[in-house]
Structure 1
Amino acid sequence: MSTIFDAIPPIPFVGEEGEAEWGFRAWQPDRMVEGRRMADWLRPAVAYWHSFCATGADPFGAETMDRPWFRTADPMQAARQKAEAAFAFMERLGTPFFCFHDRDIAPEGATLRESNAMLDAMLDVVAGHMRRSGIRLLWGTANLFSHPRYMAGAATNPDPDVFAHAAAQVKHALEATHRLGGENYVLWGGREGYDTLLNTDLAREDAQLGRFLSLVVEHKHRIGFRGTILIEPKPMEPTKHQYDRDVATVYGFLARHRLLGEVKVNIEANHATLAGHSFEHEVALAAALGLLGSVDINRGDPQNGWDTDQFPNNAQDLSLAMLEVMRAGGLGSGGFNFDAKVRRQSFAAEDLVHAHAGGLDTLARALLIAARIRADGRLDRARAGRYAGWDAPEGRAILDGGMSLAALSDRVLEGGVDPRPRSGGQERLENLVAQLAR
């Protein structure tokens, strides 16, 4: 079967000075960085939905992406065409992983039984492409937000029948992910939130969401799925307020429902900024709380207040988040998934290649910058020095519970403790990072 990517050759490495139209400037999968392959640090993945399902439509205009599978009348034949093209694309790019929603892979039928049957048939097709190409599944998920039945949420829906339908859909999608050897399973609560409190019972919906996630974890263990269950935080859009707003909110939710240790987070860069945080903040907090699982790598536009899902192109900005990933020892079974889409005017097949190649180069450059910062050591020494007092006996005694409030008071009053402010040296450290990022 021919595809729209047949005329595009496998993308070679050409180096930073290379002028060829097709070529990686920084991405070298086998390059060693701190004793680990670049590919093993980054574990990059292609997002099936944005790359092969997006039509280019927006609220003000019709589709602009003219893909052959969009014009095929038989939905299952279209799904097979799309899969053929998707793997042809990923093989040319050399990415080791992909991610998908159930409805990306196969069409939705008139009933869930029919939808499941079509997905099962397509899993055989996808599994064949995976065996042939060696490309693996980073994570799978279920689309619990597009169909009108989910307009008021899935797990948090006021109708228990919708909750049951969503549970059945997730059961099948989790089993499909397991069948394909997926390394994680993601839950994105696209409509798990509210548009108005006038018709919303927050306590009830929190309890429903907690029960739903507990059911997913129970089924994971029942079927022997060894991958990580991930929640993807987002503050709003499409709802006014979503219950998985950010990493801190997810941590509180997991603690409240006794799910710590069972679930981690899949952090999206653009979602972090929509929540009013920097991307590196969310990565650092997730690592500190033991929740760092995987990353959807993209960026927003500072002039747009919504989730624009653009490909990353600024390695210096990204290097601070990459530094936190490296400090955490990597992403384990997670990776960097390009949850990003080409712009509406970038409708040619080669635009999709250029977008991913540039994104891979940006990730690689950010990794190399982060490694330079770590090798230089000055940033880590400055941070450690700032907290040196806590490593002294008095500081350790405070944290270990060896001193009461009264004992601390006596130490200050009787010992003449008179602390003086110390500069944080922020500008010096910012200059250092900028220097090392060149």
Structure 2
Amino acid sequence: MKRIGRFMLLLSVCLSLLAYIAGSSNTCPANLEAKCGDDSSDDWKGEFFPDIPKIKYEGPTSKNPLAYKWYNAEEVILGKKMKDWFRFSVAFWHTFRGTGADPFGAPTKSWPWEDGTNSVAMAKRRMRAHFEFINKLGVNRWCFHDRDIAPDANTLSETNANLDQVVELAKELQEGTDIRPLWGTAQLFLHPRYMHGAATSSELGVYAYAAAQVKKALEVTHYLGGENYVFWGGREGYQTLLNTDMKKELDHLAAFLQAAVDYKKKIGFKGTLLIEPKPQEPTKHQYDWDAATSFAFLQKYGLTGEFKLNIECNHATLSGHSCHHELETSRINGLLGNIDANTGDPQIGWDTDQFLTDIAEATLVMLSVVRNGGLAPGGFNFDAKLRRESTDVEDLFIAHISGMDTLARGLRNVAKLNEDGSLTELVRKRYQSFDSEIGALIEAGKGDFETLEKKAMEWGEPTVSSGKQELAEMLFQSAL
């Protein structure tokens, strides 16, 4: 009996070893010590997250970190399914190209599927991991920079060829699914050629190169069925005005954006063009400092009908505003197109790109989205990265789950506020003196000074009511 027992134990071990060997060729262990086997071919079709199940909704009482507690995609809130309010998108660059590096620290992450190269084969493997991640997370949109999904090369034509190969794979992986890019963009800042900016560069050759790169990125976004295209400013500004012809650079930029509008129409791209305000990245004189500055630029050059804004909450912090302020400024002016779902640290003064976890901030964000009637064809993309010390593959899922649940709680809180109605009624009462004949004239733009002077004489010293600020805050907090 002992011999039989030993034999069975040995057989079990052998079978387990054979299973491991067989499995090692088509799985990618979720830890930093393991790699995806020796197969480095670009058509490797293994599983990159073998220990991660498809993420499901389990409700607020769930203790499972790999489950949604508040985001229930098919649940209807305020007349729309939750998935339609959010239109969540995975950002390729932070999720699959983030290294954990910061200005004072070396990279802390190297995912199991990475081989240390920036080859086309590696780019294709990374794209496959990306699509598995999207499917397991349960979203159907993604967004990208051209140079993050495919490597740069020695010439523009060679670089375009690299991009074409990876894009063909992405197109193949999209087939038979409803996954499409929320938006695409050209990365016009990392390469040294863009040290003076791209469309604002003082060098004509750089301007032309940037135009060619945007042309290709627009074509790629259109080919993949993208719904929007974003212009990331960032370097489109100046540290000093002493050696800069600001008007010339703004004129050049406007011409560049108009050319993009023209080419979009020429190729039949129906998506929305977006500008993202990007203060202090790393310049201090910018056309896109905040929503209001961007709006002024678009107005001056007659582009307001062609562009909307992509608002990043972290950038609102850097510009000295709240995210809610930037969203409302955009919404009121008909420019709210998309939201980068992240947050920053008000004390650091840099773009920390943290996942949004503040329930109050998320509720204010969703107040603007609901007032806007939604974001389609825009949505929420997670321009957010793991903290430097978060190095497990499962952390990628946990971070996105947390961000999605936070915004879902924000939406649920807005529904509570709407159902209760107390905050809405408080605001209505504060302005009820305008619910009069004279008030209606003013709001119609017909309140002339002569009439108002006559009324002021007639009414005497006005009575000023309390703004009830603390009550407003109490009502808001009661919904959190």
TM bin, normalised by shorter chain, reads: over 0.9
Matched, 1:426 2:472: no
- Indicate yes or no: 2:369 matched with 1:325: yes
Displacement of 1:369 = 0.5
1:282 has 2:326 as partner? yes
Partner of 1:239: 283
Q: Which amino acid in the other structure matches residue 262 of structure 2?
A: E
CA deviation after TM superposition for structure 1 residue 359, in Å: 0.8
Give the deviation of 1:128 after TM superposition: 1.2
Larger deviation, residues 324-333 vs 392-401: 392-401
Q: Within 5 Å, give how 1:67-82 maps onto structure 2.
A: 67-71=111-115, 73=117, 75-82=119-126
Partner of 2:168: 124
Identity of aligned residues (%): 49
Tell whether the 8 Å contact from 2:232 to 2:275 is kept in structure 1 after alignment.
yes
Mapped to 2, the partners of 1:355 and 1:288 lie a distance apart of 31
**How is 1:26-41 mapped onto 2 (pairs within 5 angstroms)?**
26-41=70-85
Partner of 2:437: 393
**Given the alignment, which residue of 64, 83, 87 partners 2:108?**
64
Counterpart residue identity of residue 108, structure 1: D
Is contact 2:118–2:151 with CA below 8 Å preserved after alignment?
Answer: no
Is the deviation greater in 30-39 or in 237-246? Answer: 237-246
Q: What are the superposed Cα offsets for residues 159-197 of structure 1, whole Å, 9 maximum, x if unpaired?
A: 111111101100110111111110100001120001222
The total of aligned residue pairs comes to: 436
* Aligned-residue offset at 1:7: 2.0
> Could you give the per-residue CA deviations for residues 225-273 of structure 1, whole angstroms, max 9, x where no partner exists?
1111000002112223332001100110000000112100000000001
CA gap of 1:144–1:74, structure 2 versus 1, over 3 A, is: closer
Residues 257/74 of structure 1: CA separation in 2 closer, same or farther (3 Å cut) = closer
CA distance in 1, matches of 2:176, 2:398: 24
Q: Distance in 2 between matches of 1:124 and 1:220?
A: 21
The corresponding residue for 1:52 is 96
Task: Name the aligned partner's letter for residue 420 of structure 1.
Answer: T
2:420 is matched with which residue? 376
Distance 1:434 1:204 in 2: 49
Offset at residue 72 of structure 1 (A): 5.0
Aligned to 1:341: 385
Q: CA RMSD in A?
A: 1.4
State the alpha-carbon separation in 2 of the partners of residues 107 and 119 from structure 1: 7
The amino acid across from 1:229 in the alignment is L
Q: Which deviates more, 121-130 or 333-342?
A: 121-130
Runs of 4+ in 1 over 3 A off after TM superposition: none
Query: Which residue among 290, 293, 296 is the counterpart of 2:337?
Result: 293
CA contact (8 A) 2:227 2:271 kept: yes
Would the alpha carbon gap of residues 9 and 402 (structure 1) be closer, same or farther in structure 2, given more than 3 Å must change? Answer: closer
More displaced stretch, 218-227 vs 147-156: 218-227
- What are the ranges of 5 or more consecutive residues in structure 1 without an aligned counterpart? none
Which deviates further from its counterpart, 171-180 or 55-64?
A: 55-64
Q: Per-residue displacement from partner, 1:122-173 (whole Å, max 9, x unpaired)? A: 1110011112443221000000000000011001101111111101100110
Q: Structure 1-normalised TM-score?
A: 0.96
Query: Where does residue 142 of structure 1 map in the other structure?
Result: 186
Match of 2:473, SS state, is helix
Matched, 1:93 2:137: yes
Which range is displaced more, 120-129 or 288-297? 120-129
User: 1:158 and 1:321 mapped to 2: Cα distance?
Assistant: 38
Partners of 1:179 and 1:12 lie apart in 2 by 31
Counterpart residue identity of residue 283, structure 2: T
Aligned residue number for residue 224 of structure 1: 268
Letter in 2 for 1:370: V
Which deviates the most, 171-180 or 300-309?
Answer: 300-309
2:91 is aligned with 1:43: no
Partners of 2:234 and 2:279 within 8 A in 1: no
Superposed CA deviations along residues 4-41 of structure 1, whole A, max 9, x for unmatched, are 31221111222111122421111110010012100000
Q: Which has the larger radius of gyration?
A: 2
**1:412 Cα shift?**
2.0
Counterpart of 1:292, as a letter, is: L
Instruction: Name the SS for the 1:197 alignment partner.
Output: coil
TM-score, normalised via structure 2 length: 0.88
**CA–CA separation in structure 2 for the residues paired with 1:82 and 1:113:** 22
Find the aligned partners of 2:277 and 2:386 in 1 and give their Cα distance: 23
User: Tell me, what secondary structure is at the counterpart of 1:294?
Assistant: strand
Gap change, CA 1:34 and 1:401, over 3 Å in 2: closer
Q: Retained in 2: the 8 A contact 1:91–1:133?
A: no
| Structure-2 separation of matches of 1:21 and 1:359 | 12
Q: Which residue of 1 aligns with 2:228?
A: 184
**5+ residue gaps, structure 2:** 1-44
Change in Cα spacing, 1:430 to 1:158, as seen in structure 2 (3 Å) is: same
- Quote the offset at 1:59 in angstroms: 2.5
Bigger Cα displacement from structure 2, 80-89 vs 313-322: 313-322
1:166-185 → structure 2 map (5 Å cutoff): 166-185=210-229
3-state SS of paired residue (1:45):
strand
Q: Report the Cα offset of residue 283 of structure 1.
A: 0.7
Q: Which amino acid aligns with 1:294?
A: N
- Name the amino acid aligned to 1:421: V
Q: Is the 8 A contact 1:284 1:321 kept in 2?
A: no
Q: Supply the AA of the counterpart residue of 2:381.
A: N
Match of 1:252 in 2: 296
* Match of residue 455 from structure 2: 411
Cα distance in 2 for residues equivalent to 1:401 and 1:280:
27
> Counterpart of 1:332 in structure 2: which amino acid?
A
Which stretch of structure 1 is more off in the superposition, 385-394 or 258-267? Answer: 385-394
SS class of match (1:436): coil
Residue identity opposite 2:376 in structure 1: G
